[in-house]
Chain A
Amino acid sequence: MRRALRSEQGGRIDRSKPLDFVFNGKAMQGYAGDTLASALLANGVRMVSRSFKFHRPRGIVSAGVEESGGLLAVDHGTGLQPIVRSTQMPLVDGLRAESQNCFPSLNFDLLRIFDVTRSLWPAGFYNKIFKWPNWHVYEWAVRRAAGLGRLPDGARSARFCHMNAHCDVLVVGGGPSGLSAALQAARAGEDVLLVELDVEPGGSLLHDASGLDGQPPLAWLARTLAELQATGNVRILTLATVVGYYDCNVLTIHDRVAAYRREDPIEVFWKVRAGRVVLATGAIEQPLMFGNNDLPGIMLAGAMQKYAGRYAVRCGQRVVAVINNDLAWRSVLALPGAGIGLDAIIDSRHSINDALLDQAREHGIDVFPGASPVAAAGSTAVRKLQFRDHDGRARTIACDAIAMSGGLSPTLHLYSQAGGRLRYDQRLACFLPQECRQDVVVTGAANGEFATPETYNIGSRKPSAANSSVQWVDFLHDVTVSDVELACRENLRSVEHVKRYTTTGMAADQGKTSNLNALTLLGELTGRSPGEVGTTTFRPMFMPVTMGAIAGVRRGEFYAPAKRLAAHDWHATQGAVFEDYGGWQRPAYYGSDRDACVRRETLLVRQAAGLFDASPLGKIEVQGPDAAEFLNRIYIHSVPTLKQGKVRYSLMLNENGIIIDDGVFVRLADDHFLLNTTSAGANAIAAWLEEWQQCEWPRMELVINPVTSQWAVVTVAGPRARDVLCSLAGMTDLSTQAFPHMSFASGVFEDGCPYRIQRVSFSGELSYELSVPANRATGFFERIWDAGQPFGIGLFGIESLMILRLEKGFLHVGGDTDTTSNPFDAGFGRVISNKRGDFIGARSLQRAEDRRNDRRQLVGFEVVDRDAVVLAGAHVVTGTGDARRSEGFVTSACHSPTLARTIGLALLERGFERGGEEIQLYDQGRLVTARIVDARFYDPQGERMHG
């Protein structure tokens, strides 16, 4: 470490804790309390990186969030991360930093060619060229040249989580203003959350030695923090940045306090609901526009003061100040005291406060009032400055650093995000808060209270006239004064057009040090005041936030909650292969070879008995004197005619007449029904019923109570199903006479376990659905399993169930129907014409469009060549070549294990009248011939199901 650059004393660094780090392969040292930027500066590093577009040298410009030069790739234990702001990166031991955007190296960058040929690449150049033959020819090269840094290739080891909070007052910013506001609220008994993005609260107090309330700043800070602590109702977050301000006083915070430890780094994303908000976010110093104002060594004046005061770092030995306001005087006049040689102050204002002039004189500093900078010079760091004195004489002064200041701009990003309106203040030459509909106040520097009691006086921020060097507006996107001029010339004069055309303010810093200059310049060029020009829209994020933090723990199994069956583990021991069906992890089949398993399971149900876990089926109780009438308006079938203990199948429609769900319902008692919905529809249909009752028919007397999860359901299907179940002690009489198809009963097993049983069939076999409380599911499955062994029982999963039902031509809502299918299309026309009275969707079915007979109708087909493969998703086509047209599509298909041929269902134009017709099925260029047949492929009379 070059000792000369680090003062022996002062600053808030801990000299007893040296930290090692590496920059571009070179070992360096800093101290605890340093940022990466301060440590680099202390090690004499000037050029740290290269710029985005022209690969110009970049040095550290600021000491805060506004950094535009010192963006590095940094590994602090979690792999190399791109675009890390070195000014915000606390130095940690073993940190590794690398320059970005240089090829092949920082000192020798071939892509500097773009800088040399700069005049060929003005704003919007790409709109004018690269059109022929097409953009693709050039795009790859452009893409490779663009981009800041590289995506980290290794998986990152940081962990993320969210935190939710409520508070009476959220104070953003821990400077003197924020601390005062927090104290005031805490004294009044309010619950306060104070958030500071720096490693400790204090803000400007931490480096600015001028007193506060007549006290030394650090003494005031210590006393205030102690008092805050004592109130007991203040929480302080540090290394936490408020990044978003949304409706209803909801703010988001990116909390990095645990992000930089080597062991278990963690980032937390907070969502705070605040009663009211105090924004004490301070202000950001703005640069000035002059030639080569982007050279390393040119820094913001306040930053230079901060490096000296807080980190004991001298940013230069021969410094020239280029400033236009009184506050900057205060900053630069603090430099000599820190051992920094300040040679000259160039201030564009003609008259300057005498007290300031006196101080300058005391330090032996040359002052040039009414002078303006023309251009800096140097290759990889600034070496001299050309300027024009008040007489217009060109002069040159040697220097190794320039402290520049174009005045302050209050940090009002969050205020604007909140919907706050800004007004331009002529005297302060910046935007100030005006009014906001949310409960928020702005205080301190953020409110334009820059300096008390001095009056703040600021001069012009114009670029220097007649200049052969380039003057930079946006350091990150390499936008120049002439780019803005070009935009105006081409009539892109709205501030939004200028932003998009030149890309000023669109870089990673979102224009924190370029927006004000750009819009002031635009105003100059178009004869408008900055207030008339206005700002572009401020939007979250105030500072970029790692996407991992935004997602929190929502990764992998926590990305979307999976539902599990009560007997999940039991299925697993039986070899179940689980897949996701509508959020449920369900056995797709049991075994290893998908096709073989599905085939075996299907035949098992047809030949003996199969056991299926149907627990996710939706179950809703509806009870009350108006229950029957209510359900009559929900289902397309008549409900009041259903007898107690009987089951009926029906469809539900939406008001547009589209099928949304199907299932059976049971009449448990005269005024009491139990509905089954599809598994996927369980929640939605319960909500659907509630909505109709609460909003449309509130006077109907009934209660709706969903009970889906209470009951585990097992389907036992197959010719031996009855034999299996009858062997269970306490089972109701299942004989066909006592318990025909579509019956329901409930009872209690011998062990006291209650059950419900209904005889319904989705497989076309003799089939029962038996429900028991889900807590007993596993034991119950085992019992049936044992009871079924003599009858050859086996398990079957969803995949074979889908084949079983397809062999019967049963409808699968959502598969065989889509959001255009009405009940006519699905073959329920008779039901509709028999139904009396209003029901949901009824009126829509009267439209001519819904009754057209050339609609797509659901029909069965079999392939002519029995074994040809057809997959769901094939289309029915007519014509060839350009005249080829789709008449519909296959909604389900399989090679039936039972029938030993390929069958399927299709939604086909005029399908109902085309029985027997041969059709062509198209799939990815392949054609297969099929014939339209009765969709009840297997057991068309339903003898097995009713038997």
Chain B
Amino acid sequence: MADRIEMRSIVSLKVARQSVDRARACMHLAEPLRACGSDPQSLWLGPDRWLLVSDTTTAAVIIDSCQRALAGILHNAVDYSSGLAVFRLAGVGARQLLATGTGIDLRPASFAAGSCCRTRLAQVAAVIVAAHAEVFEVYVDRSYETYLANWMAESSSICFSYLGVARG
């Protein structure tokens, strides 16, 4: 149920705290706790930090457009496509699987499509994006890729077997 998304371009953008308002005026950056746009999509990680991600544009192009949009504004935009592993979780059990490992409020009303948050999932830092209804994308440090893939396999096996009874 969890697929690895390969080849996604990811740019890590950090903007000086003093200049965040100016940066937002110059460039389309997601609001707090949201994901927005598509090419690139911008994911809010914090008041001075975004990921800009795309499946079609290269990181170099994204960085370039950042540089142009943010000319004169202190920022650091770097290719981070190798730094993160991305998983896509789809299906009815996706929310429950996530709920076995993270304490954020995943109720549809609180975490609807377009939500994005950085949190703790199965002990590691992760960015969780509600892409569409019941489709989630999870970003983790690439060094945890194998760990998290195994964890999702194990947890979903237990959690779905349990839900079979609990719903029963």
Contacts and interface: CB of A to CB of B under 8 A. Distances in A.
Query: Is A–B contact present in the complex under a CB 8 A cutoff?
Result: yes
Interface of A: 159-166, 191, 237, 255, 257-258, 261, 264, 266, 268, 271, 273, 552-554, 557-558, 560-566, 568, 584, 616, 621, 623-625, 698, 701-705, 707-712, 754, 773-776
A237 B166 contact: yes
Interface in B130-157: 141-148, 150-151, 154-155
22 contacts: A159-B158, A161-B162, A163-B96, A164-B100, A164-B101, A258-B161, A258-B166, A266-B158, A558-B154, A560-B123, A561-B124, A561-B147, A563-B141, A564-B146, A584-B143, A621-B78, A705-B12, A707-B83, A708-B83, A709-B82, A710-B79, A711-B82
A237 B142 CA distance: 37
B165 A257 contact: yes
A701 B16 CA distance: 7
Nearest to B84: A709
Contacts of B162: 161, 257-258, 266, 268
A710 B76 contact: no
B14 A703 contact: yes
A560 B12 CA distance: 27
A710 B147 contact: no
Nearest to B80: A710
Contacts of B122: 558, 561
B83 A703 contact: no
B82 A698 contact: no
A257 B155 contact: no
Given A161-B100, A553-B151, A704-B14, A709 B158 contact: no
A268 to B, nearest CB: 6
Given A257-B166, A710-B82, A161 B99 contact: no
Nearest to B125: A683
Contact of B102 (A164, A621, A702): A164
B129 to A, nearest CB: 18
Interface string B89-110: 0000000100111110111001
A624 B76 CA distance: 9
Contacts of B18: 701
Contacts of A565: 143
B159 to A, nearest CB: 6
Given A258-B165, A558-B151, A705 B123 contact: no
B145 A162 contact: no
Interface string B1-31: 0000000000010111110000000000000
B74 interface: yes
Given A261-B165, A266-B161, A703-B76, A164 B99 contact: yes
Contacts of B142: 566, 709, 774
B54 interface: no
Contact of A773 (B79, B99, B101): B79
A702 B16 contact: yes
B55 interface: no
A191 B110 CA distance: 12
Contacts of A552: 100
A563 B106 CA distance: 27
B123 A561 contact: yes
Contact of B155 (A161, A566, A702): A161
A561 B120 CA distance: 12
A849 to B, nearest CB: 38
Nearest to A264: B161
Given A558-B151, A566-B142, A702-B16, 20 more contacts: A161-B158, A164-B99, A164-B102, A166-B106, A257-B162, A258-B165, A273-B103, A558-B122, A561-B144, A561-B147, A563-B144, A565-B143, A621-B78, A624-B16, A701-B18, A707-B80, A709-B80, A710-B83, A773-B79, A773-B82
Contacts of A584: 143
Interface of B: 12, 14-18, 48, 74-76, 78-84, 96, 99-103, 105-107, 110, 122-124, 141-148, 150-151, 154-155, 158-159, 161-162, 164-166
A561 B122 CA distance: 8
Contacts, number: 140
Given A257-B166, A698-B17, A775-B82, A703 B74 contact: yes
B107 A191 contact: yes
Contacts of B12: 705, 707, 710
Nearest to A707: B78
Contacts of B101: 162, 164
Most chain B CB atoms below 10 A, which of A552, A558, A698, A776: A558
A163 B82 contact: no
A650 B55 CA distance: 40
A523 to B, nearest CB: 43
A532 B107 CA distance: 46
Nearest to A561: B147
B144 to A, nearest CB: 6
A553 B141 contact: no
A166 B124 contact: no
A771 B52 CA distance: 23
A557 B150 contact: yes
A568 B102 CA distance: 28
Nearest to A693: B17
4 closest A-B pairs by CB: A563-B143, A774-B82, A709-B83, A710-B83
Contacts of B17: 698
Contacts of A553: 100, 151, 154-155, 158
Contacts of B124: 561
A712 B142 CA distance: 11
Contacts of B105: 166, 273
B74 A625 contact: yes
Given A557-B147, A710-B79, A774-B83, A164 B74 contact: no
Contacts of A698: 17
A507 B166 CA distance: 32
Contacts of B148: 561
Contacts of A625: 74
A168 B107 CA distance: 11
A159 B165 CA distance: 14
Contacts of B84: 709
Given A161-B158, A163-B159, A773-B82, A709 B48 contact: no
A553 B151 CA distance: 8
Nearest to A168: B107
A624 B99 contact: no
Most chain A CB atoms below 10 A, which of B75, B99, B143: B143
A160 B158 contact: yes
A540 to B, nearest CB: 18
A45 B114 CA distance: 61
A164 B100 CA distance: 6
B110 to A, nearest CB: 7
A194 to B, nearest CB: 13
A702 B78 CA distance: 15
Given A561-B124, A705-B76, A775 B81 contact: yes
B166 A564 contact: no
Contacts of A161: 100, 155, 158-159, 162
Given A557-B150, A564-B145, A773 B81 contact: yes
A223 to B, nearest CB: 23
A703 B75 contact: yes
Contacts of A773: 79, 81-82
Contacts of A621: 76, 78
A450 B143 CA distance: 58
Contacts of B161: 159, 258, 264, 266
